[in-house]
Every structure is written in C-alpha cells, then in structure tokens.
Structure 1
C-alpha cells in the first residue's frame, strides 16, 4: 500500500517534529492510504478523508494523551489512530483487523472512550474537564489530574442529537478550558435535517459573522475556520485556543470525502486547499452506525423549598414542606439526605467526588442547604439525563468519583448512555435510583420497570439494600476511591430503599438521621465496613427447611412476615420453618446459595416489587430449569411473585400489592397450594 512518510510516524511527537512543508506531505500520504485502505477493506472513509488536515493539526498543536481528544461517534478517528502508533494497521493488509473502526482505550492511551453512537463527545469532555478543574482547585493549581486541554470533536450531523445540545448547555455553564471542534461538512450519514442548519449555513456564508449565532446564544466563545482542509489554517486556529481559559467552539468547514474523485485518478477538481473534490457526497464505503438521541424534555419543575403531592413527583402542584408540618420525610428524602450526608463528609479529602443531579434534586433529599455547602462537588445539569450519565462517565474516565441521582422513571431517558458511555466503557459511576419499584405514582412516573432496565445491562451491578446500614455500605463500596482494595468494578446502580423498609426501621427505632451520618456517628453504615465478596452474595437471615423465601429489596419486610406466618400453625396446617434470604443484588445469581437450597427445601419463592417479565425472579426460575435440562437434579419448584407488565395510574400501593399478590395472605396461600396442603 502507499505509505512514504506515514510509516515513519510512531506517535504525536513525530508530527510535531515535522516542518510546515512536510505536514502537507503527511496529509497527502494519509489521504492516499485512506483511499487504498477503503478500497481494500471498506470502512468510514468519507468522514475520515474530510478530517485529515484537522486531525494532523490537532496532534501538531495539542499534546495527547495529556491533552484529551474525544471524537464523537469516533468513526472519523482513523487518522488519529494512524498518528498515535497504529499506522501499520492501515498500511499492511495482513494487519487490517488489528484495530476497530472506533476509538478504543484498550488499543491506545490516546483513545479516551469506546464510542459508536452519536452526540456525547461534549458531555464526556465536560466530565474530563470537571475532574481536572476539581483537582486544580484542590491543589492550588499544582495538580491537573493528568489532564491539560480537553477537546471534543463533533460533526454537524451529530450536533443534531439532543444530548449534544444538553452538552453545549452545560459546557457554557461549566467554564474553564474546554474546546469544541465542530467539523461542519454539511452532511450527516445522509443529509442534514433540522432548523439549526440554516443558521449554520449563514455562518459559513458570512465567514462566521452572521447572527443569530447558535453557539454565542449558549454563552460560548466562537471561532470560524473557512479553510477546514488547510492544515496551516487549522494549526493557526488551534494554537490560538490552546490553553484557553473558557469554553470555545472552533467551527471548521470541511469537505466530506475530500480527495476522492472517481475516474479522475487524483487529477480531478480541487477545493480551496488544493484537495481533490469528490463529485459525490460520501467517498468510499462510507458506512456508519449512528443512533439518534431522544427528543427534548418535558416541563417538570423543582422548587427547593416545596415538595410534591404523593405520587406526583416533580409535577406543578405543591404543598407545604413536610418538615414545616412536622411530618417525617418520605423515603426518597430520608435516604437521599443520608446519602448526601455520607458523601459530604468526604468532600474535603476527595476533590473528584461529585454528585450529579439532572434537575429535581429536592424531591430526592438533595436539599438546598446541602447544595450550598457542597459547592463544586454538586452539579445540577438541568433536565438532561442523557448528558448527566455521559458527563459522569467523563468524570470517571478522568479518575473522579461521580454519583448520579434521580428518579427511576427519568433514567429511562438515558438508556443509550447507560449502555454506551457507562457500561461499555466500564465507567466507575454510581447511580442512585430513587422511587424504584411499585408506587402509587401516575403512569408517567412508575419505577416498576427499573430492575428490568438496569439489571439486564452487561457489566452493571444493581444493588437492592434492605436497611440503612446496607444502603450506606453499598454507597461506600461503589464510591470507594481508586486504589481501595475490593472496591466495585465498573458501574453500580443502588436502588434507594422504599417505604416498606423505612417503615420497618422506624418501627424498630433503627432510623438514622443525616446529622448523625454527617457527624460520623458510630451508627449504621457510616464507615465503609463492607465485605466486597459479601456485597454480591445472598444473605441467609434465618435457617429453616421446606421453603426458601428470597425477597428482593423493598419486599424483604414482606418476606419476614411471610416466614413468620408460615411458622405459625393455622387453619389446620402444620407450621413450616422457612428460610429467608436477602439477595442484596439482582444482576447475578449466587449459584452457590441456590444450590445449597436443594438440601432440605422443596420450594423457592421469589418476591420483587417490580415487573416480573424481564425481572429478577425469572432468572432464579430459569436457573433451576436449565440445570434440569442440563441433566442435573432440577427437582426444585419456584414461585415468582411480582408485578404484571402494565402501566398503572395513581393506584394506591396497597391496592397494587393486593392486585399482584404481594401480601402475606396471598403469598402464604400460594406456598401451601404449591406444597399440596
């Protein structure tokens, strides 16, 4: 294959060592290599041809990996890979499959994330910059967490994603160094569609001076480079913004597929930079895998000194705060305050510990007073759940410790970011899942589907604590600083305990106040005294025989009452000494515990206050069924108790429990029927 200069580029330092004239030679060699590679192998060639000069200029000016470059979608990162030690994978046909078509940290320290979906580079860059700025502030400017300039590279097509707008909005608010390079080639995978493309066209036509300017409207600085395929112009533009102390958009006008001229043998027309112009739009084998983010958000609101009616969440009807009426906090506020108090104690010593709330903080116990004290350790990013999760993943990539907290039903809006930015990248993110499970809420705010959603994402650990101690221990485990022995591996979702658990703790007078946690009381869970192995294993609270009741999360108090009822002789039935098990988490099965139940148990009952279909209990049923199919001694009957797959609208929780058989009487009756008694 054509090579020349490129085969002598082993890293960005080699690009910096070239003369200005040789930069042009390098761009020509890269373009020739892309064309030959695309012809022989295929790939995202059109987008990369348009980014040749910009990528060379980025590595000429900035100092990767200390300066962090985040490519949106990242199918335009082939040139970046060539310049960061992977040119051989494009020059030698025998090595074509050594690299993926997207950035991948497993390949190189110069790749920040594994990315294949669109719109999140700005949010990820915000997270990287946030951790850098926190480290600098904590050290008085001496420690930048190993991060210099942060650069997000995003195309005009990707900019139409809702999460990209969320990122722009938060970048402007965040301040300090953040460089957004907008690669405007007037195209997406196909054409560009939407109201913002008219203003972009007017910016191009006016050399960046037209109004309205979308980016200025967000509060961002703005620079325009008309010659987006002129490496000299790009180097000058990037040198001008290197080290800049505020967010800036560098809008570059490029040509997608630049250099591809079918039938012209490189002798066809040229553009303003002397680059061959393609007569068509996409170049060679320009394929892609791009998903579009969700649409804009609804009009929920949050007032710091008011709380909503039960079940209305962040709706527009408000009552006097519970504290003013002398009423105890609901579980969201109570357990939210406990979590914030536990984290707040650590803020002075952990500059990277950040609480992120996509709006509605007060409903989840993130009080106005806490926010004031937390300062930069707290970020309200507005009603932008997608941005919040991608932003947190950026914080985690930079070595910070993010905690994202909001309502279960709102997290549905960030499902793509949970898969791509958080889970695929093994981001050390903690998610506090409020109002998970059954509730009397309206049909738009039900959390009955949270287990089915979170617990089936690869790499996610979802915990369902059944007490304050377990809850705070889970938080300590999931947010343990890097280097802590036995800390969680990857993202963790903590299902915040609900009313049944809070009622039990209040009845037993085990309730712990946020003030006690903040002061460092010796009470439950204020020290990270967790056992990493035990965190993910089932816990048997009482040994018995005959029946095993495995009660997940909020159903554990019900499980306790069921076991007690079974042990009492009633209606002429013999007592049953049952085993009660707290599974503690719902993403994996403790197979050792399940196998141990074969000794002395005829029936396993699973309880969960969420949707059965796709939920947790079915996994237990499938485990025993598959063991039977595999030739093992199945012999274990399983009953799953939980919710139907349906929307419910303001049905009182007690009525839902009756409907789904989540009462002591209903569960005990099913057990006796299954045992033939």
Structure 2
C-alpha cells in the first residue's frame, strides 16, 4: 500500500524543491525521514547514513541545479534522499515500486546520477575528472554544460587511500570543486585511523582547531556544526556556490537521526551489504547477531535469535572462535578487517576480547593487504577477512606485496560466487582473479570442517606462502544444516592419495627438496563411477551431487557418474585428471564464478594440450558480464547451472 506523504509525493524533480516556500523545508525533511524508516523496515538498505543526510541533500537540491550542477555521491550509501528528490520518490513511498531503483546511484535510472558507484572513496577523484573536463571545454560559463561540481563523501570513506589521492589532486587542479564531507563520526563500524583525531578537534573547536587536514592539502575549508539544520546548510552552500577554487564544506551530522534512541547501537547503524526485510529495520536493525562464545566453543545463535545466520556470518564466527584460543600463545596471530567486520561474523564481542590481535584498518583494503604482508614477513600469521568484491581493489598488492614476496598471509574471501547482488557488489569474479596470481594457494572448502582445517593449516608455521580460502556460501551451509552434504569421512575415497583429505589430517606432503606442499593439492573423489566425471568446485558441490544422483536414477539410461571435490583452484591435479581418462569420456566442471579465465577453462585446456581429443569437457559457470539484482535462481537458469540442463547436456554428449 502506497504511503501518502503530502509534500514529498509532489516532488518530481529538483525544480519542485526550488519552488517550495522555505517554511515548508523542515516538513519535507520530516516526511523524508519517516519515509526512510518505513522503507527500511520493509526493504532494508543503508538507512542510517541517509537519515543523517536528509537536510544536507534537501539543501543541496535547494541551492544547486542538478544535473547542470553535478553531484557525485561517494559509494552511494547517502544517495537515497537524492533519489527521492530527483523523480524517484515513488520507489520509497510505494512498496510495489521498492525494487524499481537500485541502492546505488546509476545513470541508467536518472540524469541526476553521475556514476554507478558501490565501492568507497572515489567521489573526489570522479568529481575532479568532471571539473577538469568542464574547464577544458568551455568552463562554467561556456559550452561544457557543467557548472558546479560537488563531491559528497563520508568521514568513514576518508580512510580510503583514493580519497586522499583525490584531495591531493583537487588542490593542485584548482577551479570550481566543492567537497561536502559528511562527518557523522562513524564508518560502517567505528572510524579507524589517525585522521579521526583531527576531525574530532575540528568538531570540538567549530572548525578552527588544528592541524586542519584539508587546509594542509591546500584546500579552502568551511565548517557547519549544525549539519541537520536545513537552513544552516543552505546558507553554507550558497556561500560556496560558483566558487572559483576547491573548497571543503565539513558538516557534522547525526547518523540514524530519527530512529528510536534504543536502537542506535554503534554496530547497527549501517551494514556493509544490502539487507532484506526485518533483518534490516532501516539499517539500524541490521544487527550483527552475536554468536555466543562459551569456554572457547562457538555456537550458532539460531536458538537465541530465532533467525539462522547466513553463510558469511556463520562461517566467519566459526573462524574467529577457532582463532581466539590461540591468541594467548601465538603473539603474531592477528585478524585484520578493512571495515565491515560485522558482515563477516567478526562480532563486537570478539573484537573486544581479541584486543591487539584484531586490527580494523578502516576502508583501506590495499593498505590492509600490504600491512598483512609486513606482519607475515616479521614472523606473524595474519588473517585478513573481507568480501570478494572488495578484494578486487587489492589486485596490485595481491600480486606484488603478497605473492611476489611469498609471505604467509591468510585471506578469507567472503561472498564469492553467483548471487542476486547489485552490479557493484558481485562476487562472481573472484576465482578468475585469485586463481591467476602466481604463488597464491587458492582453497575452496566444501564444509565447515574443511574450512576450519584449511584455516588451521594456513595460519600454522607449516605454511610458508600466501593462501586465500574461499569461505563456503549458503549452498554449502544449507546442505550442512540438512545433514546430507556428500563427502563425509566414511564416504570418501581419493583416486590419488587417501590421506590428502582435510578430514583425515592436515599434515602436508613434502617435495624432493623437503619443502611443504598444500595438503589439498590433490582432488578428492567422493563417488566413483564411469563414463562421466563431475568436478564440482566449492559452492557447486551440492549441485554436482544432485546431478550425479539424477544421472544414476534415470531408469531408462542410468549413468554411474564420478563426483569429485577439487578442494582448490590454484593448480590442476594432473594425476587425477589423467587417471580419469581411463574410464571416462565426459568431464563436467561446475563453478559459481566467471567461466572465461576461470577454473573450468583450465581443465578444458589441460585435456586439449595433452592431445586427448576423445575427452569431451563441458564447462558450466557464469558469463563474463555484470548483473544487477538478478535473482540467483534466474542466474542459474541463464547460465545452465541447473540439474535438468546439465544432465540433458551430459546425456546428449553420451549418445554422440
């Protein structure tokens, strides 16, 4: 049912904001705030940051003239109000239209959105580019079509290295550029970094204290203490409108303003990932449900919350509970999170208990990887946990600081694989990225037990090189909870070596020169068969098991297929792949990642390069494309990742 809100429902664009009587602006802000809270209860999202930006966004659209004046919202977490004021209010007022807009800015939705943005720290750099192009093509009063350029960035995003690079460039470039720093004293969790003491002093002195971070860059600076006073903000923005030089307007806002005080816990103000329904309750209710930790025993908190954890929090909490007892005797064991800890099961209670063994670097993923490599070089065993989509930002550090130097850092890769996420937060590219970095061991556990065994090995003194562990997803967790995940110890045999499985031991093999090799370098055969071998990597193992069962259950043409759990995607198990040629004609690879450049491609190339032309390899995985909020079931259908399609292709090949 559509919510009827008087002023907001009549706003169809910035011109309507300009036309309002000034006395109506506070009421408009109130209606927007009410709408945000109701929207959050139903739909979820990054509500806390938007609640703090209501007055600032109304003031921006009151003073400036979008899209001639270009507004760039960093990471998009503060753009919901902007969307309401630029013709998309119905998406927030009417539940039937809640999914008609993304949670992020997107030029395909509106000319008022400049970029598709979902990763943090980039708005200043992007704004510098817009301003540079304007100044090269006619300037503000010429034919560029662009007047004021405004970058909106939160204080938490300032911890990102690219934000500093943008500030540095802005000062050198000169010309009209307005940088709005929304200081709500919070990132997704707490702010971390030395600069935040500077911001604290600026707030305490009304912007007059020193040192002033922004003026040190050579930027003009204004401070607005009343960041939730629409009239104070209008006055401040009018003062900097049409400026001929870069200026920072530092506004002090209250994150989550408008929610009941009892719900304003620091952790709950914003999650690092979009949420659904009541699990969000505006983002302030996006509680990180805390697992109980009793006598060093991790316990899934389903029984205490009534809600099962998703895979990333479930397995993340397991990992932290396994590491915590070791802190007392292993001083170099450190957990690192570049912000977003709660999303990955790194609870506030754990962080407090871990003390110096936990480091939040802020939103600085590149620094986090290099920092971890430094710890490892000095003899420590760091564990760096973040999302697959955020690891993309660290590619150079993964290659140079980590793999080239061979430092024993453990990376916990959360959220990898196919999902219905928006196009800025897809984890589908991680196998192709990690799997093509030399010297990086890439593990893909298919159970909680395997995950913990791999973590124990990678953080032990036995391991001497970098390791990424692809944290199991919901397909694995759901099968574990149902109790029918294939591959328990009593079911497993290995074609190569029976003691290579993580369930039997974590003891590594040694090469001729005495160096250790990964215990999971050999593939694990779960079910032996003939003719067809299904190699199901990581999260696709449950799908592979269903395919094998379906082939065997066909009463007319049963096929007794082999099922293999590869366990890793950094190398190919040539021995197992070669042995399969003895009694198999069809090899099927399954991966919930991009096919092109992925793992299955390498299996195909292995057989082709070996001259085994009689072996037919069928690869199943994702196309090389961006997808935006496509339901997971629809993606699986699109990519043929269904039991029906896979078995049909196998049968077609077997008859050929």
Q: TM-score, normalised by structure 1?
A: 0.52
Q: 424, 427, 430: which is aligned to 2:404?
A: 424
Is 1:597 aligned to residue 568 of structure 2?
no
1:251-285 CA deviation, whole Å, 9 max, x = no partner?
xxxxxxxxxxxxxxxxxxxxxxxxxxxxxxxxxxx
Q: Distance in 1 between matches of 2:638 and 2:194?
A: 54
Aligned partner of residue 639 in structure 1, secondary structure:
strand
| CA spacing shift, 1:337–1:637, aligned 2, 3 Å | same
Q: CA deviation at 1:168?
A: 13
Q: Deviations over 1:156-189 (max 9, x none)?
A: xxxxxxx99768999xxxxxxxxxxxxxxxxx9x
Could you say what secondary structure the match of 2:535 adopts? strand
| 1:558 and 2:526 aligned | no
User: 1:446/1:303 Cα in 2 relative to 1: closer, same or farther (>3 Å)?
Assistant: farther
Superposition deviation, residue 320 in structure 1 = 5.0
- 8 Å Cα contact 1:314/1:363 also seen in 2: no
Rounded Cα–Cα distance in structure 2 between residues aligned with 1:425 and 1:551: 31
Post-superposition, which runs of at least 4 consecutive aligned residues in structure 1 deviate over 2 A?
Answer: 163-170, 192-198, 215-220, 300-325, 524-534
Mapped to 1, the partners of 2:371 and 2:396 lie a distance apart of: 13
Question: Do structure 1's residue 452 and structure 2's residue 432 form an aligned pair?
Answer: yes
Other-structure match for 1:257 = none
Q: Which residue of 2 aligns with 1:328?
A: 308
- Give the structure 1 partner of residue 391 of structure 2: 411
Encode CA deviations 1:305-353: one digit per residue, 9 max, x unaligned.
4755547999974545466751110000000001111111111110000
Find the structure with the greater CA-based Rg.
1
Query: How big is the shift at 1:395?
Result: 0.4
Within 2, Cα distance between the matches of 1:315 and 1:412?
30
CA distance in 1, matches of 2:345, 2:196: 30
Kindly state the Cα deviation for residue 417 of structure 1 after the two structures are TM-superposed.
0.8
Q: Against the structure 1 CA distance between its residues 165 and 333, is the aligned structure 2 distance closer, same or farther, given a 3 Å change threshold?
A: closer
Three-state SS of the structure 1 residue aligned to 2:402 is: helix
Counterpart position of 1:113? none
Q: 1:582: which partner in 2?
A: 565
2:449 to 454, 459, 469: 469
Q: Which residue of 627, 632, 640 corresponds with 2:610?
A: 627
Task: Name the SS for the 1:345 alignment partner.
Answer: helix
Tell me which residue corresponds to 1:542. 527
Is the Cα–Cα contact under 8 Å of residues 531 and 586 in structure 2 kept in the other structure?
Answer: yes
Partner residue of 2:617 out of 632, 635, 638 = 638
- Preserved contact between residue 446 and residue 567 of structure 2 (Cα < 8 Å): yes
| Change over 3 Å in CA distance of 1:652–1:431 after alignment to 2 | same
Tell whether 2:642 aligns with 1:663: yes
In the alignment, the residues of structure 2 paired with residue 551 and residue 410 of structure 1 have an alpha-carbon distance, to the nearest angstrom, of: 25
- Aligned-partner Cα distance in 2 for 1:359–1:567: 47
1:26: which partner in 2? none
The residue number in structure 2 matching 1:443 is 423
- Deviation string 1:531-577 (CA, Å, 9 cap, x unpaired) is 4554111011111100000000000011111111111124x3x1111
Match of 2:328, SS state, is coil
Structure 1: 5+ residue stretches without partners? 1-162, 171-187, 199-214, 221-299, 482-486, 512-523
- Secondary structure of the residue that 1:586 maps to in structure 2? coil
1:568 aligns with 2:553: yes
Count of residues paired in the alignment:
379
Q: Residues 527 and 472 from structure 1, CA distance in 2 versus in 1: closer, same or farther, beyond 3 angstroms?
A: farther
Determine the C-alpha separation between the residues in 2 that align with 1:388 and 1:350. Answer: 20
1:506 — aligned with what?
Answer: 481
2:413 alignment partner in structure 1:
433
Correspondence for 1:391 among 368, 371, 375: 371
**Equivalent-residue separation in structure 2 for 1:462 and 1:475 (angstroms):** 12
For residue 304 of structure 1, what is the aligned residue in structure 2? 267
Residues in 2 aligned to 1:471 and 1:669: alpha-carbon distance in whole angstroms: 33
5 Å-filtered alignment, 1:237-386, equals 304-305=267-268, 309-310=274-275, 317-321=283-287, 325-386=305-366
Deviation at 1:355, TM superposition (A): 0.4
- Bigger mean CA offset, 396-405 vs 647-656: 647-656
Instruction: Say whether the 8 Å CA contact 2:533–2:588 is kept in structure 1.
Output: yes
SS in 1 for 2:610: helix
Inter-partner Cα distance in structure 1 for 2:597 and 2:408 = 25
Partner of 1:608: 591
What residue number does 1:85 align with? none
Equivalent pair of 2:531/2:560 in contact (CA under 8 Å): yes
Q: Secondary structure at the match of 1:540?
A: strand
- Secondary structure of 2:626 counterpart: coil
Cα RMSD of the aligned pairs, angstroms, is: 3.6
Alpha carbons of structure 1 residues 325 and 534: separation in structure 2 relative to 1, 3 Å: closer
Q: Which aligned pairs between 1:94-113 and structure 2 lie closer than 5 A?
A: none
Q: Is the 8 A contact 2:445 2:472 kept in 1?
A: yes
Could you tell me which runs of 5 or more consecutive residues in structure 2 were left unpaired when the two chains were aligned.
Answer: 1-156, 175-192, 199-254, 257-264, 290-300, 487-500, 510-517
Contact 1:547–1:576, Cα closer than 8 Å, also in 2: yes
> CA distance change for structure 1 residues 646 and 473 in 2, over 3 Å: closer, same or farther?
same
In 2, are the aligned partners of 1:476 and 1:528 still within 8 Å (CA)? no
Residue 648 of structure 1 aligns with which residue?
Answer: 627
Secondary structure at 2:356's aligned position in 1? helix
Q: CA deviation at 1:652?
A: 1.6
What is the match of residue 248 of structure 1?
none
CA 1:634–1:426: 2 relative to 1, 3 Å? same
**More off after superposition, 410-419 vs 331-340:** 410-419
Displacement after TM superposition at 1:663 (Å): 1.1
Q: Distance in 2 between matches of 1:664 and 1:341?
A: 36
SS at match of 1:675: helix
Using the alignment, how far apart are the partners of 2:564 and 2:504 within structure 1?
A: 24
Q: For 1:455 and 1:616, how far apart are their aligned partners in 2? A: 7
Task: Supply the distance in 1 between the matched residues of 2:561 and 2:459 (Cα, whole angstroms).
Answer: 36
My pick for the range that moved more, 382-391 or 528-537, is 528-537
Give the Cα separation in 2 of the matches to 1:216 and 1:381.
Answer: 11
Change (3 A) 1:377 1:216: closer
Cα deviation 1:166-218 (Å, max 9, x = unaligned): 68999xxxxxxxxxxxxxxxxx9xxx9552799xxxxxxxxxxxxxxxx9967
After TM superposition, the structure 1 = structure 2 runs for residues 188-207 of structure 1, keeping only pairs within 5 Å, are 195=171
Query: Residue 403 of structure 1 contacts residue 431 of structure 1 at CA under 8 Å; is this kept in 2?
Result: yes
Maintained 8 Å contact 2:442/2:470:
yes
SS of 1:382's equivalent? coil
| C-alpha distance 219-319 of structure 1, shift in aligned 2 (>3 A) | closer
Matches for 1:78-93 after TM superposition, within 5 Å: none
- Of the three residues 470, 478, 489, the one matched with 1:495 is 470
